[in-house]
Amino acid sequence: MTDKWENSLFSCFSNMNTCMMATFCPCILFGRTRYRLRHPSLDGHNCCNFACFTQCICISTPISCIQRMMQRKEIREKHNLEGGCCGDCMKSCFCSCCELAQEENEVLMKQSKAQEQVGYIKPQGMVYVPSN
What pLDDT sits at residue 121? 66
How is residue 41 annotated by DSSP? T
What pLDDT sits at residue 29? 96
Please give the Cα distance from 13 to 80 (Å, whole number): 24
What pLDDT sits at residue 88? 95
The pTM (predicted TM-score) of the whole model is 0.83
Domain ranges (residues) in the chain = 12-110
What pLDDT sits at residue 1? 76
Mean model confidence pLDDT for the chain: 90
- Regions in the chain scoring below 70 on pLDDT: 118-121
What pLDDT sits at residue 47? 87
Provide the CB-side half-sphere exposure for 84 (13 A, CA).
1
